[in-house]
């Protein structure tokens, strides 16, 4: 078969969860199914892959405040390399950079369908959920969450309007619909009136690089990033949905109640609409103890997880939450939202609280600091839970969706 993939989010150095899903799942399918041809269709050209020793993974530039640590090479340096290679892989570029919803529409509806026809595609997979409506090729949109439906104010207006108008159509047209959690599957079915039988759950995975810290490594990491002080860790891109303001308020309450000399470490990059976060940082009496890591490699992120008191991750809505299972794989307890997908993904091995209640988040911080037995239990149970999630399994589940969409031809 000829399987076309929307590769607009495919990068050797992904910027977010959708990017990691695209890279890891496509790589796995290419590797596991050499009998099929994969055509990766993007909006920019790639060069050749550099030597393995020169590859760098990163989380993207952090928002400004106090920055600690050393940033790796910028993503611009990696933008020209081939993210996925194989004898059964072909790259096709439609040279229109899709940087605006109007360009998204033109690229998908007018430029992409002729390409699918020319390459005689048997199936089109869209890891970012965007498929062409003007094609007869069977499609699988991967819809990670419906934040644009439930919290439209968290997204810039033009993008949100596009999502709200088009995603119901994408879900209806898809031969199958894939998503990353049972929560999102139920949400898509209920919101868009799609039969649950049409939706396939393809959970994200945890990369092999993530593991508990080696002896002495946690202490060295704290010396490097916080001057030896214990810290709570937040990992994600910064946008209103991620609810960074509540983490900051909870940290202030924790410190004001005599919670010790802990630091709050924020790892991620600006996405959009971060004015409220900046205002809270500016007004915080503990602003000097709220640090940004800058861009970090995956190995540094592993160290940051392993040395943290806890991952504090309380978004308003999350389709999966990759930082949760990465932290668990590193033996780190988690404080999470008690809503959307996070109780499911964490397997119950976390302290789950209301994302609207900064006091409850602060109380969870204090519990983990003061209760060593609780910390050890959540670390052990979380690690066991994280073993359920691998990128190899994700690629296999995606392939099952391919088989269904093609009527068993795959």
pLDDT averaged per 10 residues, the chain (length 410):
96 88 98 97 73 35 38 37 92 94 97 98 98 98 97 92 97 98 98 97 97 96 96 91 93 90 87 68 84 85 97 97 98 97 97 98 96 97 98 98 89
Nearest to 265 by CA among 228, 286, 291: 291
Cβ atoms 139, 174 nearer than 8 A: yes
Q: Could you tell me which residues come within 8 angstroms of residue 320 by beta carbon, excluding any fewer than 6 positions away? A: 17, 144, 145, 180, 181, 184, 203, 204, 341, 345
The Cα–Cα gap between 346 and 352 comes to 9
Of 62, 100, 64, 60, nearest to 78 by C-alpha is: 60
pLDDT of residue 271: 58
Which tokens is 172 given?
């209806």
- Dist CA 174 CA 142 (whole Å): 10
Nearest-CA neighbor of 270 among 156, 167, 405? 156
Which residue ranges make up each domain of the chain?
2-46+82-205+390-405, 217-386
CA distances from 140 to 26, 52, 93, 97, 360 (A): 13, 32, 20, 22, 40
CA 213 from centroid of its chain's CA atoms: 22
Dihedrals φ, ψ of 177, to 5°? -125, 130
Give the whole-angstrom CA distance, residue 362 versus residue 252.
8
CB 346, CB 211: distance < 8 Å: no
Task: Looking at 193-297, list the stretches that DSSP marks H as alpha helix, in order from N- to C-terminal side.
Answer: 217-226, 244-256, 275-283
Beta strands 177-179; 139-141: pairing state: unpaired
Q: Apex CA 229: angle with CA 310 and CA 215, to 5°?
A: 70
Those residues whose C-beta lies under 8 Å from the C-beta of residue 56, and which sit 6 or more positions away, are 13, 72, 73, 77, 78, 297
153 alpha-carbon distance from chain centroid: 20
Query: Helices 17-32 and 391-405 meet at what angle, rounded to 10?
Result: 70
Whether 2-46+82-205+390-405 and 217-386 share one fold: the answer is: yes
Q: Note the pLDDT of residue 165.
A: 97
Chain centroid to Cα 106, Å, comes to: 26
The span from the CA of 28 to the CA of 9, in Å, is 16
- CATH node for 2-46+82-205+390-405: 3.40.50.2000
- The residue among 261, 377, 256, 259 whose CA lies nearest residue 328 is 377
User: What is the pLDDT, as a whole number, of residue 71?
Assistant: 35
Instruction: Answer yes or no: are the C-beta atoms of 196 and 176 closer than 8 Å.
Output: no
Q: Which residue has the tokens 């076309």?
A: 4
Give yes or no for a contact between 248 and 321, defined as CB atoms under 8 angstroms apart.
Answer: no
Whole-number pLDDT of residue 230? 97
313 neighbors 336 (Cβ within 8 angstroms)? yes
Number of H-type helices and E-type strands within the chain:
16, 14
Which residue, 86, 77, 85, 10, is CA-closest to 41?
10
3-state DSSP assignment of residue 290: strand
Distance between CA atoms of residues 142 and 127, nearest Å: 5
Architecture of domain 217-386: 3-Layer(aba) Sandwich (3.40)
Tokens for 68? 């600690």
> 50 burial class (0-12, 13-18, 19+ CB within 10 angstroms)?
middle
d(CA 164, CA 157): 11
């Amino acid at each position: 078969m000829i399987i076309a993939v929307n590769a607009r989010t495919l990068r050797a150095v992904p910027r977010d969860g959708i990017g990691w899903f695209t890279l890891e799942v496509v790589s796995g399918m290419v590797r596991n199914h050499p009998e099929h041809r994969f055509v990766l269709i993007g909006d920019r050209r790639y060069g050749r892959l550099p030597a393995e020793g020169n590859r760098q993974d990163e989380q993207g530039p952090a928002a400004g405040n106090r920055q600690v640590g050393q940033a790796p090479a910028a993503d611009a340096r990696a933008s020209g390399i081939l993210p996925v290679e194989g004898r059964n892989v072909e790259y096709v570029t439609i040279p229109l950079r899709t940087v605006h919803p109007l360009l998204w529409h033109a690229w998908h509806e007018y430029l992409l369908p002729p390409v699918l026809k020319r390459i005689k595609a048997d199936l089109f997979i869209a890891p970012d959920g965007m498929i062409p409506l003007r094609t007869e090729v069977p499609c699988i949109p991967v819809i990670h969450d419906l934040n644009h439906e439930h919290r439209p104010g968290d997204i810039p207006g033009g993008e949100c309007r596009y999502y709200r108008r088009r995603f119901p159509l994408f879900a209806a047209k898809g031969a199958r619909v894939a998503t990353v959690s049972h929560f999102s599957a139920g949400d898509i079915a209920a919101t868009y009136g799609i039969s649950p039988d049409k939706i396939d759950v393809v959970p994200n995975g945890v990369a092999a690089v993530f593991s508990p810290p080696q002896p002495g490594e946690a202490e060295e990491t704290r010396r490097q990033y916080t001057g030896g002080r214990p810290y709570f860790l937040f990992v994600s891109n910064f946008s209103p949905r991620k609810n960074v303001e509540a983490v900051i308020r909870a940290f202030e309450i924790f410190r004001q109640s005599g919670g010790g000399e802990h630091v709050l470490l924020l790892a991620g990059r600006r996405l959009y609409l971060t004015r409220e976060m900046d205002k809270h940082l500016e007004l915080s009496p503990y602003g000097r103890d709220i640090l940004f890591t800058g861009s970090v490699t995956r190995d540094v992120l592993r160290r940051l997880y392993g040395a943290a008191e806890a991952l504090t991750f309380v978004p308003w809505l999350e389709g999966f939450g990759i930082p949760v299972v990465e932290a668990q794989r590193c033996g780190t307890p988690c404080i999470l939202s008690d809503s959307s997908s996070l109780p499911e993904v964490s397997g119950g091995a976390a302290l789950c609280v209301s994302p609207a209640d900064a006091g409850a988040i602060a109380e969870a911080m204090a519990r983990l600091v003061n209760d060593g037995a609780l910390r050890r239990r959540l670390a052990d149970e979380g690690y066991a839970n994280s073993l359920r999630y691998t990128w190899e399994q994700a690629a296999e589940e995606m392939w099952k969706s391919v088989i269904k969409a093609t009527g068993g031809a795959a």
